[in-house]
């Protein structure tokens, strides 16, 4: 039985956690809240605070468990219902979120903010139901009947004109337009999307790359619509060229407010240099995530609905992994639910037969899984996919002749982290993520010797547009 001293010490630990939280150091906050819980496991606020920190780290499964424990300890704890609803919304468990938002409104009928969020959630549930109802299994391609010749670019357009091939001049002009808050003409958007969709569709599910003499390949993690931080990578590390290739490991879009700018720039480079500029699909290059986290809304606001449909189809054509020098497997999420899977299974995976990853299977695991420090496999902290331990990584690397797996998918405060005895490397390239997390960004340079060089960088100023402006958001109560 815990003593009064234990409770006092735990409360002091919670206060330290709150301070770390205020400083946007979510991992340290979680560490203090966990120590408080270990010392005194009867205070629901410890769990509720940890739930909020886990939400910040997108560990939504853990957040749901913590909020549920807080509710178990205090059935009237409004913040816990709220945070459980937020976490369930984040992983698209909209019905569960709806129940909790209803509970908040029932317990606090005069809470205007709660009523607004309940209405948002109800609209989201209706939208999901409607989209499922009209879903056509063998829908025609969005590119079908796309008549580019019939789209006129009027004389008033003040940007560089794009003909039949991508040029560096067009890219340079596009970057300047985007920096100045301008868009490119929709004809050029459609041209870029069609050209790149055709290129990536014909690439294998696992692209295999060698780093030739006198060249360099840079691996970047999530960029999440942080366009000005992407430009900082290029400023520091060099723009793509014939001797300097890039691999962007998924999650180009959503959350940040310049997702179309990032996606179009990366696609333009892919069109310009298709054999030395690579794109892996991430879990945010999917329809469900784009509807909730902003990309669909941004496409419609800056261009039109057709743009989103074309992007959606192009995303489903992207490769799922890249093998560098036969030593490093690069994929967005991580490893698998069974040791039987090999590189050959990735090679054989027909990603075109399944446009969206679904809730199970090899594609879903490649996009969603995360490493854990404990051996074996465990439930996902996100509530989607699973977690894999150092022994799983060791066996996979040994069975496939790999030195390491490089993945992204998670914020790392230093921009990168080397785990699992050096065999699992996370790289994340969105510094000061969503303008709230005090993390660095990072990228990895790989030369012909296949040695890994880690580089960190800080966020740069950007126009005063808040993250996720086109997103369905549920803020903290």
Provide the CATH number for the domain around residue 31: 1.25.40.10
Look at residue 2 and tell me whether its pLDDT is greater than 80. Answer: no
Establish if 235 belongs to a structural domain.
yes
What would the 3-class secondary structure string for the chain be? CCCHHHHHHHHHHHHHHHHHHHCCCHHHHHHHHHHHHHHCCCCHHHHHHHHHHHHHCCCHHHHHHHHHHHHHHCCCCHHHHHHHHHHHHHCCCHHHHHHHHHHHHHHCCCCHHHHHHHHHHHHHHHHHHHHHHHCCCCCCCCCCCCCHHHCCCCCCCCCCCCCCCCCHHHHHHHHHHHHCCCCCCHHHHHHHHHHHHHHHHCCCCEEEECCCCCCEEEEECECCCCHHHHHHHHHHHCCCCCCEEEEEECCCCCCCCCHHHHHHHHHHHHHHCCCCEEEECCCCCCHHHHHHHCHHHHHHHHCCHHHHHHHHHHHHHCCCEEEECCCEEEECCCCCCCCCCCHHHHHHCCHHHCCCCCCCCHHHHHHHCEECCCCCEEECCCCCCEEECHHHHHHHHHHHCCCEEEECCCCCCCCEEEEHHHCEEEEECCCCHHHCCCCCEEEEEECCCCCEEEEEECCCCCCCCCCCCCCCCCCCC
Is residue 465 a part of any domain in this protein?
Answer: no
Say whether both 23 and 158 belong to one domain.
no
Same domain, 168 and 84: no
Same domain, residue pair 277 and 336: yes
* 165 & 53 share domain: no
Q: Are 205 and 242 in contact (CB under 8 A)?
A: no
Going by pLDDT thresholds of 50, 70 and 90, the confidence category of residue 136 is low
| 11: in domain | yes
> How many structural domains compose the chain?
2
pLDDT digits (tens, 9 = 90+) for 346-385: 999 999 998 899 889 999 999 999 999 999 999 999 988 8
**Per-residue pLDDT at 476:** 35
pLDDT, tens only, 397-413: 999 999 999 999 999 99
Question: In this predicted model, what pLDDT tens digit does every residue of 265-320 receive, in sequence order?
Answer: 999 999 999 999 999 999 999 999 998 899 999 999 999 999 999 999 999 999 99
Residues 114 and 190 in one domain: no
Give mean pLDDT, residues 385-393: 97
| Amino acid 134: pLDDT | 65
pLDDT band at 137 (very low <50, low <70, confident <90, very high): low
For residue 311, what is the domain's CATH number?
3.60.21.10
39-63, pLDDT tens digit by residue?
Answer: 999 999 999 999 999 999 999 999 9
Output the pLDDT for position 466: 82
d(CA 444, CA 60): 28
- For residue 161, CA distances in Å to 149, 167, 168, 262, 266 come to 14, 10, 12, 20, 18
Indicate if 268 and 315 belong to the same structural domain. yes
Residue 294 sits at φ, ψ, to 5 deg, of 115, -20
Range of the domain at 44: 4-134
pLDDT digits (tens, 9 = 90+) for 54-104: 999 999 999 999 999 999 999 999 999 999 999 998 888 889 999 999 999
Residue 375 lies inside a defined structural domain of this protein: yes
Same domain? 212 vs 288: yes
Residue 271 lies in a domain: yes
Let me know whether 81 and 155 are in one domain.
no
Answer yes or no: is 142 within a domain: no
Same domain, 122 and 163: no
Q: Tell me which of 359 and 326 has the higher pLDDT.
A: 326
Residue 305 shares a structural domain with residue 277 = yes
Q: Which residue has the tokens 């902290």?
A: 381
Residue % of the chain over a pLDDT of 70: 97
pLDDT at 254 over 60: yes
- Computed over every residue of the chain, the mean pLDDT equals 94
Does the structure show a pLDDT above 50 at 474?
Answer: no
- Radius of gyration of the chain measured on its C-alpha atoms: 23
Question: How many whole angstroms from its chain centre is CA 85?
Answer: 20
Looking at the DSSP bridge assignments, the partners of residue 341 are none
Alpha carbon distance 215, 244 (integer Å): 6
The 10s digit of each residue's pLDDT in 161-173 is: 999 999 999 999 9
pLDDT-based confidence at residue 395 (cuts at 50, 70, 90): very high
Supply the pLDDT for residue 444: 99
Question: Can you tell me the distance from the alpha carbon of 98 to that of 108, in angstroms, rounded to the nearest whole number?
Answer: 15
Q: What backbone torsions phi and psi does residue 469 show, to the nearest 5 degrees?
A: -70, -20
Instruction: Check whether residue 433 and residue 306 sit in a common domain.
Output: yes
Distance CA 100, CA 105 (A): 9
Does residue 284 have an active-site annotation? Answer: yes
Q: Which one of the listed residues 224, 244, 284, 420 is annotated catalytic? A: 284
pLDDT for the residue numbered 477: 35
- Report the percent of the chain where pLDDT is more than 90: 85
């Amino acid at each position: 039985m815990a003593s009064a001293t234990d409770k006092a010490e735990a409360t002091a630990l919670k206060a330290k956690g709150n301070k770390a939280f205020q400083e946007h150091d979510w991992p340290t906050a979680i560490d203090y809240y966990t120590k408080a819980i270990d010392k005194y496991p009867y205070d629901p606020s410890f769990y509720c605070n940890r739930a909020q920190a886990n939400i910040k780290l997108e560990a939504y499964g853990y957040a749901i468990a913590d909020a549920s424990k807080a509710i178990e300890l205090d059935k009237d704890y409004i913040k816990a219902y709220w945070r459980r609803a937020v976490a369930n919304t984040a992983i698209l468990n909209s019905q569960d979120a709806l129940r909790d938002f209803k509970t908040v409104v029932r317990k606090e009928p005069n809470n205007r903010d709660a009523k607004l969020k309940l209405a948002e959630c109800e609209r989201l549930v209706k939208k999901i139901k409607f989209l499922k109802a009209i879903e056509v299994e063998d829908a025609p391609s969005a590119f079908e009947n796309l008549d580019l010749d019939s789209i006129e670019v009027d004389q008033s357009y003040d940007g560089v004109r794009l003909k039949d091939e991508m040029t560096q001049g067009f890219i340079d002009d596009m970057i300047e337009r985007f920096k100045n808050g301008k868009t490119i003409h929709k004809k050029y958007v459609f041209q870029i999307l069609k050209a790149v969709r055709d290129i990536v569709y014909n690439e294998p599910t696992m692209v295999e790359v060698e780093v030739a003499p006198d060249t360099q390949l840079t691996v970047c993690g999530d960029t999440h619509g942080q366009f000005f931080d992407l430009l900082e990578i290029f400023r520091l590390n060099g723009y793509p060229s014939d001797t300097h290739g890039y691999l962007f490991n998924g999650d180009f879009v959503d959350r940040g407010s310049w997702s179309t700018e990032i996606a179009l720039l990366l696609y333009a480079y892919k069109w310009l240099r298709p054999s030395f500029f690579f794109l892996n699909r991430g879990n945010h290059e999917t329809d469900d995530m784009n509807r909730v986290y902003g990309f669909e809304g941004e496409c419609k606001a800056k261009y039109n609905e057709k743009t989103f449909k074309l992007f959606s189809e192009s995303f489903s054509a992207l490769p799922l992994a890249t093998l560098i020098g036969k030593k490093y497997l690069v994929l967005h999420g991580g490893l698998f639910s069974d040791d039987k899977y090999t590189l050959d299974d990735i090679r054989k995976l027909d990603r075109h037969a399944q446009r969206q990853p679904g809730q199970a299977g090899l594609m879903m695991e490649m996009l969603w899984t995360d490493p854990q420090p404990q051996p074996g496999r465990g439930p996902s902290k996100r509530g989607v996919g699973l977690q894999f331990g150092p022994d799983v990584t060791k066996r996979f690397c040994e069975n496939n002749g790999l030195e390491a797996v490089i993945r992204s998918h998670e914020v790392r405060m230093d921009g990168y982290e080397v785990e699992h005895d050096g065999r699992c490397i996370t790289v994340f390239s969105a510094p000061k993520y969503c303008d709230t997390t005090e993390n660095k960004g990072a990228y990895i340079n790989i030369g012909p010797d296949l040695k890994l060089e880690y580089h960190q960088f800080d966020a740069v100023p950007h126009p005063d547009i808040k993250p996720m402006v086109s997103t369905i958001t549920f803020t903290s109560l």
